[in-house]
Amino acid sequence: MITFYNHLHSQHHGKLEMYRGQLVPCFEVPARVDHVLVELKKRKLGAIVPPESFDDSALLGIHSQRYLDFLAGAWDEWVALDPANARRDALPSVWPVRTLRSDVLPANFAARLGLFSMDAGTPLTEGTWDAARAGADCALSAAQAVGSGQRAAFALTRPPGHHAGADFFGGYCFLNNAALAAQALREQGLARVAILDIDYHHGNGTQSIFYERADVFFTSIHGDPLTEYPFYLGYADELGAGAGLGFNRNWPLPRGTAFEVWRAALQQALQGITEFGAQALVVSLGLDTFDGDPVAGFHLQSDDYLSVGADIAAAGLPTVFVFEGGYAVAEVGINAANVLQGFMAAAL
């Protein structure tokens, strides 16, 4: 399996995030990708290469122009407000919630930061745009490889992407890599593409992007939003809307779910993908389902991820894997490599 590695990922390195009412060191750190990279090399799971460069127009199939313009210039604006800001990250503090307008683009930077965000746990740093932009190239390169005949490809990148919507960031995510990969596959001529999100946290951004479309089927297995982030999306009754009705399926599970129950949900999700008639699959590969993850609550063990990979391979589809969450840093490399190894062994 070819891996497209984002060598700029470490330029995004947040200092603090707001978590449960206090500022704490960020859970989403560069070491996450470093551990995966080490494990891939150790097991010799395939070539590891830099991504191709894609024009910014490739992003416009998923993200709005004004959002991309904001992200590209946000750090410079932040520092221009006060040179001391160069030593601290930008975190939003105000949001346009119900009854407030979001159509007008405010002149005030703090107001625009809030307009384009969904939480105070996602610091914007000096290198955020460069890291996220290179990550998008990884996802687009992986989709191009699979669309050109590769059985599978892996976009190894951070920051992650599945919480990012068409015009907002949050949940550590800025550009939606899985959505970009799915759209790229569509533009390569595949009529039906499926996205399987197995991160502990629901991929609200991905769902919202494709919610009214019939050409991309989204299905997610995640912690019940009644108690788990992102809270406001991911319920079982969200089935799509308009042309997309019937092409969205969520499998929320309670905190404490063990692998046997989780795997049964995976089989149901894969059955839905088969019934949809998908010609290719994008997997939002979150590893925060691991028993030791500090911000999640499922009980998968490292060996279980070998079976996860094998089950996904059994769908028989050309597959793009996109790295998402997983915050048990010491184990995330083993768990990611186990999924890919299990997939490759079953796909032979």
State the distance between the two ends of the chain, measured CA to CA, in whole angstroms: 11
Domains of the chain by start residue, with CATH: 2-63+131-347 (3.40.800.20)
Tell me the β-bridge partners of 48: 3
pLDDT value at residue 348: 72
Give tens-digit pLDDT for 70-115.
999 999 999 999 999 999 999 999 999 999 999 999 999 999 999 9
Do residues 315 and 274 make contact, with C-beta atoms less than 8 angstroms apart? yes
118 burial level (CB within 10 Å; 0-12, 13-18, 19+): buried
The pLDDT tens digits of the residues spanning 322-337 come to: 999 999 999 999 999 9
Residue 30 makes CB contacts below 8 A (sequence gap 6+) with 9, 10, 12, 13, 158
Mean pLDDT value across the chain? 97
**Torsion sign over Cα 147, 153, 155, 160:** positive
Tokens representing 327? 């915050």
pLDDT average, residue stretch 200-225: 98
pLDDT given at position 346: 97
Smallest Cα–Cα separation from 295: which of 115, 4, 32?
32
Say if strands 22-25 and 2-5 run parallel, antiparallel, or are unpaired. unpaired
**pLDDT (tens digit, 9 = 90+) per residue, 252-301?**
999 999 999 999 999 999 999 999 999 999 999 999 999 999 999 999 99
What is the tens place of the pLDDT at every residue in 281-292? 999 999 999 999
The per-residue pLDDT for 20 is 87
User: Amino acid letter at 240?
Assistant: G
At 24-76, the pLDDT tens digits run: 999 999 999 999 999 999 999 999 999 999 999 999 999 999 999 999 999 99
Tell me, yes or no, if the pTM score tops 0.85: yes
∠278-305-2 over CA atoms, to 5°? 60
Which ranges constitute the DSSP H helices of 234-287? 259-276
Residues that are catalytic: 163
